[in-house]
């Protein structure tokens, strides 16, 4: 990233929400100097500062995404660090954790170093690399986790492959715990989902598509909880889709296990009925499930069972999705609409207020990985989002920053919008 603009920045009269500091003020000022938040400005600094009128806006910490794909290295036809991080900035994300299913896989120091060099040159936001849990994320031999930790990874995961052998998963968890690495797990028993295209239920029968049952996710969620208890390792469950999974996590947390979880904004907003017209942009893994699951996930998010909202950004080219449903790859390009979709589901849907939504996008994911981010406290890096909570706008493919052409929410009208995003006090997305 380029160095931040060193001139002081004064945001005046905005509503300020900082869940990490238990702060929610109807009208307050924010002061930024030398890339960090400061308590106040001197008279001289006020005279020199760039002033932004915050009336009608909400100022929050920059969002943190625990689950996205930035294409590079090796998949730059789908996305690049340059385009992906600008999409993140447009969506209010100032820190993103990028998944290791690149080409080559991020299972070695060389690939991690290459990614870090690309990010140093091209990234608009902070990019934190995750490494693979096993070599080539094949679930057979453990990756060199100690070397990956030294190279800068913040977590390890086999992404959508998942580790299908419980003995290997146990040893991987013990190994990861030695280096204080969080294991991110895509919970899916692949023996139950081979050939699956969408959620197994009434709609899959109606559409004639093979289903992915809830049990395929819930079995692995259960085994992860048992292994977390056995190994004392930290496990973060990625993009939960089942109400049953949320209940298993709720019970595990009540027992004090080191389990955290996330949900994607699409799973909060939509159900499997949205696939009625075989829209390949809505072919997701895990799949969209039923209304009962959607409501259970929202309830789990509200009560803190689910810690974070993720984008699960998985960009594809237009041609990859322009085919028969069963031939299309899984995934949706969602970085730019994650906040807006979550706002529609949670706030506009009447389930919780904006402060809780902000918490699940900032302090929640920061706690999962122990990041020094997601706050407006004095001395913290000045990563900031300004939100217009009453702005109606329409998401369009033409206006997006991402190369991914598979955003299923394109042409949808939203009722809340990211106005601007700052990283280290520097404007990286939106308007000043």
**Active-site residue, selected from the candidate residues 76, 122, 312, 383:** 312
Q: From the CA atom positions of the chain, what is the Rg in Å?
A: 21
Does residue 254 contact residue 262 with C-beta atoms inside 8 Å? no
Provide the CA 227 distance to its chain's centre, in angstroms.
Answer: 24
Return the structure tokens found at 174. Answer: 């013990």
User: In angstroms, rounded to a whole number, what is the distance separating the alpha carbons of residues 312 and 283?
Assistant: 13
Residue 312 is among the residues annotated as catalytic for this protein: yes
The secondary structure of the chain, three-state, reads CCCCCCCCEEEEEEEEEEHHHCEEEEEEEEEEECCEEECCCCHHHHHHCEEEECCCCEEEECEEEEEECCCCCCCCCCCCHHHHHHHHHHCCEEEEEECCCCCCCCCCHHHHHHHHHHHHHHCCCEEEEEECCEHHHCCCCECCHHHHHHHCCCEEECHHHCCCCHHHHHHHHHHHHHCCCEEEECCCCHHHCCCCCEECCHHHHHHCCCEECHHHHHHHHHHHHHHHHHHCCCEEECCCCCHHHHHHHHHHHHCCCCEEEEEEHHHHHCCHHHHCCCCHHHCCCCCCCCHHHHHHHHHHHHHCCCCEEECCECCCCHHHHCCCHHHCCCCECCCCCHHHHHHHHHCCCCCCCHHHHHHHHCHHHHHHHCCCCCCCCCCCECCEEEEECCCCEECCCCCCCCCCCCCCCCCCEECCEEEEEEECCEEEEECC
User: In angstroms, rounded to a whole number, what is the distance separating the alpha carbons of residues 271 and 241?
Assistant: 10
Active site residues: 312
């Amino acid at each position: 990233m380029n160095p931040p603009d060193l001139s002081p920045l004064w945001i005046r009269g905005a509503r300020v929400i900082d869940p990490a500091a238990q702060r929610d003020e109807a009208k307050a000022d924010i002061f930024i100097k030398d890339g960090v938040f400061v308590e106040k400005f001197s008279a001289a600094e006020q005279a020199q500062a760039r002033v932004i009128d915050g009336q009608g806006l909400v100022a929050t910490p920059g969002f943190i995404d625990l689950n996205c794909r930035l294409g590079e290295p090796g998949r730059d036809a789908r996305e690049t660090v340059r385009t992906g991080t600008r999409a993140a900035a447009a969506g209010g994300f100032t820190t993103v954790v990028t998944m290791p299913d690149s080409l080559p896989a991020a299972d070695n120091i060389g690939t991690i170093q290459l990614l870090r060099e690309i990010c140093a040159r091209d990234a608009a936001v902070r990019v934190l690399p995750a490494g693979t849990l096993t070599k080539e994320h094949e679930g057979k031999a453990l990756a060199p986790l100690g070397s990956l930790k030294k190279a800068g990874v913040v977590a390890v995961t086999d992404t959508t492959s998942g580790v299908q052998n419980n003995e290997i998963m146990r040893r991987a968890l013990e190994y990861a715990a030695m280096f204080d690495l969080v294991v991110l797990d895509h919970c899916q028993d692949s023996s139950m989902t081979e050939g699956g295209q969408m959620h197994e239920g009434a709609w899959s029968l109606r559409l004639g598509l093979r289903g992915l049952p809830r049990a395929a996710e819930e079995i692995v969620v259960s085994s992860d909880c048992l292994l977390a208890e056995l190994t004392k390792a930290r496990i973060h469950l990625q993009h939960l889709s089942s109400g049953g999974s949320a209940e298993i996590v709720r019970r595990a947390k009540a027992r004090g296990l080191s389990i955290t979880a996330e949900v994607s904004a699409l799973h909060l907003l939509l159900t499997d009925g949205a696939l009625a017209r075989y829209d390949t942009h809505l072919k997701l893994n895990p799949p969209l499930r039923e209304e009962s699951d959607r409501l259970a996930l929202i309830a789990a998010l509200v009560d803190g069972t689910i810690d974070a909202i993720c984008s699960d950004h998985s960009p594809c080219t237009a041609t990859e999705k322009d085919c028969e449903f069963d031939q299309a790859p899984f995934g949706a390009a969602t970085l730019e609409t994650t906040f807006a979709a979550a706002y529609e589901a949670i706030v506009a849907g009447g389930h919780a207020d904006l402060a809780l939504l902000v918490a699940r996008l900032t302090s929640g994911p920061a706690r999962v990985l122990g990041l020094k981010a997601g706050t407006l406290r004095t001395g913290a890096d000045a990563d900031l989002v300004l939100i217009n909570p009453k702005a109606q706008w329409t998401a369009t493919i033409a206006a997006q920053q991402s190369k991914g052409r598979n955003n299923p929410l394109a042409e949808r009208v939203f009722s809340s919008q990211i106005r601007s995003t700052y990283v280290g006090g520097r404007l990286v997305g939106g308007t000043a």
